[in-house]
Structure formats: C-alpha cells, structure tokens
Amino acid sequence: MHSPFHPDYNPMIRRMQSVFTLTDDERQALQSLPMQVQVIKADQDIVREGDRPSRSCLLLSGFACTYKVTAQGKRQIVSFNIPGDIPDLQSLHLKVLDNSIGTISTCRVGFITHEALWDLCTRYPRITAAFWRETLIDASIFREWVLNVGRREGVSRMAHVLCELMVRLRAVGLVENHACDLPITQGEFADALGFTTVHVNRVLQQMRTEGLIELSGERLNVPDWEKLKQLGEFDPTYLHLETDQAAA
C-alpha cells in the first residue's frame, strides 16, 4: 500500500482540475490519498453485483465496463469505463452493489477505502461536490444510453457509442488525431448496444463500406468525424465536459 499520486499521473486529479482550480491543500490531500494499486488481466471481474465493498476503485489505465445480467443470463453493459473513472464511487453511499464491473483489457486499478474517501470529503467540501458531480455525470450517461438502446437502431446506435468513446477518451488524452486504441470486442459492443454479435458485425461492415470508420485490430480511426457525429445524432452536452475541445 503506497501512494503513486502525481498530478499528471493520476487521471482523477487531472479531471477535477478541468472543472475547478484545486487549492494546494486540496491537491495535497488528493495526492496523499492512500491507494492500493493492482494490475488485473482482461476479462476479470473487479467487483461483483451483490458485493458490499469497503473501498472504491479508480481506473488508472485500461478499459473496463459496468454491466448487469438478466435472470436468463443475458449480459448488458451499461457503460464503458476508461482511465480516470471511478466506476463504483456509488458504493460510498449504497451498501450493496447492484452491478458488476469487469475488465475489458488489462487494467491498472487503484483501490481507495471508503474510510479515506469519507475523511477527504469531510475535510474538503469542494471535493465532495466534485465527487458528487462525477456520479451525476455517470447518471447522465446512463440516461443517454437508455435513449440510445431504446430509440436508435443499427448504425445510428453504434455510431453514438463510438462518438461517446472518442470524446471521453480525448478528454483524458487518449486520442491522437482521429484515432485511438479500442480493445473492445464485437461481442462486447453487442452487450453494450443490446444487439447480437452477428448484428454488430453486420452494422460494422456497413459502416466500413460507407467509409465511416476504420476499425481493425484494437484500433479505431474516424476519417469523417462530422459524418459519424451526425449519424449517431451525437451531442456531447450530456457528458458535461468543461473543456469543450471535445465537442469539435
């Protein structure tokens, strides 16, 4: 248990600073937050539905997802998690986890005890506000996903999540030009979109044919961002990013 919390090394601090300026005290407190770092291989659960965790996890690197499973065993991914996310921050207030979180690629995860988070929040109300705000943005993303899954079809639904991923990845510096690493499998996209693997394949083929995306290996390239945005009806307002470099 140590504390590798350097400002530009820790994506959470970076994100908070994009919303408001941290005082030295606040930054210091965040940097000295005790965190247990662990490397977790792909396709492993970090936490499981039903758990009563005593700590939350900060995703330092890699891709993960928040998901739930039907009684019949069908999986639905309700959000993709990228570096800087604290996907189970909610467990600070809600004792029983109502979803699982699993890795998609190998991940570096930092575990922070609820005790430490409580302590931090008690001493720094603005940090409480910042954490609360993060969970509100998560909720906003869930709302958009209900819309996406409920009312958009095929190409449009797919285009929308791709846009969201690009914008969020860009916000944490993981997009160069219009390309990024994207180790998400067609089966995983299916679980995120409420589709079948077969249908995801069909949709991707069509999008490739139309020159909308280049997606192969673990690399996504978007030759025509405006076109993709339009097809996915993508408006980044719901991500509530302060720095709107992303919207471009």
Partner DNA sequence: TATAGTCTTTCACATATGTTTTATTTGGAT
Partner DNA sequence: ATCCAAATAAAACATATGTGAAAGACTATA
Region 191-230 residues binding DNA, contact defined as CB under 7 A? 194-199, 201-205, 216-218
| Interaction of residue 111 with DNA, rule CB under 7 A | no
DSSP code, position 79: E
| Cα–Cα nearest to 110, from 11, 8, 44 | 11
How far apart, in Å, do the first and last CA atoms of the chain sit?
Answer: 41
Region 6-45 residues binding DNA, contact defined as CB under 7 A? 43
Contact partner, 72, from DNA, its own copies, none, Cβ < 5-8 Å per class: its own copies
The minimum distance between CB 239 and DNA, in angstroms, equals: 24
The window from 29-37, 122-130, 202-210, 220-228 that contacts its own copies (CB under 8 A) reads 122-130
The minimum distance between CB 20 and its own copies, in angstroms, equals: 11
Query: How many binding residues for its own copies (CB under 8 A)?
Result: 45
- Any idea how long the chain is? 248
| Interaction of residue 145 with its own copies, rule CB under 8 A | yes
User: How far is Cα 113 from Cα 137, in angstroms, rounded to an integer?
Assistant: 22
- Sign of the Cα torsion 72, 147, 77, 66 reads negative
Joined together, the tokens standing for residue 9 give: 């090394």
Joined together, the tokens standing for residue 147 give: 């819309």
User: How far is Cα 147 from Cα 247, in angstroms, rounded to an integer?
Assistant: 20
| Interaction of residue 186 with its own copies, rule CB under 8 A | no
| Cα–Cα nearest to 190, from 157, 168, 215 | 157
Region 71-100 residues binding its own copies, contact defined as CB under 8 A? 71-72, 74-76, 78, 90, 93-96, 98-99
Contact partner, 52, from its own copies, DNA, none, Cβ < 5-8 Å per class: none
User: How far is Cα 136 from Cα 82, in angstroms, rounded to an integer?
Assistant: 17
Binding site for its own copies (CB under 8 A): 50, 66, 68, 70-72, 74-76, 78, 90, 93-96, 98-99, 122, 125, 128-129, 132-133, 135-140, 142-147, 149-152, 193-194, 233, 237-238, 240
